[in-house]
Amino acid sequence: MTTVATQQPAHPARGDARVALLDAALALVRRQGWAATSIDQLCRTAGVTKGAFFHSFESKEALGVAAAHRWTEVTAPLFENAAYHRHSDPLDRILGYLDFRAAIAQGPLEAFTCFAGTTVQETFAASEAIRAACGQCITDHAARLVADFEAALRQHRTREAVTAENLALYTQTVLQGGFVLAKAKGDAGPLLDGIAHLKRYLQLLFNAGRNA
């Protein structure tokens, strides 16, 4: 979903092994996918033993569910503290959010693509628990935009009847699709193009009543 550091200590304290494994999962899965990430590799990256893994998680699936929750936990502060919240107009806050998403799409693809989106594409038919956890992660992030969309709909007329909830989910549809196409092409171009088109759509949608 964004650029997030997931470095682990070489030898984490026993109580930190769970967090080290979760952060190893976030880093490895975004780079190489869920199926290619083994328990042995997770342990090596986290600097823990396999015994520590099974002390923390009963299975790789259990780790996947926990990692989806961890993804929400580590990405939330980045968005909560972003400057776009300072705009007085709610529509400007939404457009600022999209500008922020474009600004952080820097570096290798695994640095800014989404753990939840990556994982659910591989596991949706194989693990209901991981599918649900990743789906909740994505919809919870969309929900952060609902209040601003509600305020924008109150303040500005729109060209068509829409709901705040559907618009918020649509932003995630564009972003997640952009992540997939960025991986297919090997660069951030499709994601950035998708964000730019989404901004134009929202500006056209709200333009009829902006500042009316």
pLDDT digit string, tens, across residues 85-105: 999 999 999 999 999 999 999
Do the beta carbons of residue 175 and residue 191 sit within 8 Å? Answer: yes
Q: How much is the pLDDT for 14?
A: 54
Q: What confidence tens digit (pLDDT) does each residue in 95-145 have?
A: 999 999 999 999 999 999 999 999 999 999 999 999 999 999 999 999 999
pLDDT band for position 157 (cuts 50, 70, 90):
confident
Are 6-57 and 61-207 the same fold in CATH?
no
CATH (residue range 61-207): 1.10.357.10
Do the beta carbons of residue 75 and residue 62 sit within 8 Å? Answer: no
Residue 155 pLDDT > 60:
yes
Residue 211 pLDDT > 70:
no
6-57: which CATH number, 1.10.10, 1.10.260, 3.10.20, 1.25.40?
Answer: 1.10.10
Distances (CA, A) of 175 to 109, 119, 129, 138, 169: 13, 15, 23, 10, 10
Q: How much is the pLDDT for 116?
A: 98
Bigger pLDDT: 1 or 50? 50
Q: How many CA atoms lie within 13 A of 179 on its CB side?
A: 25
Residue ranges of domains in the chain: 6-57, 61-207
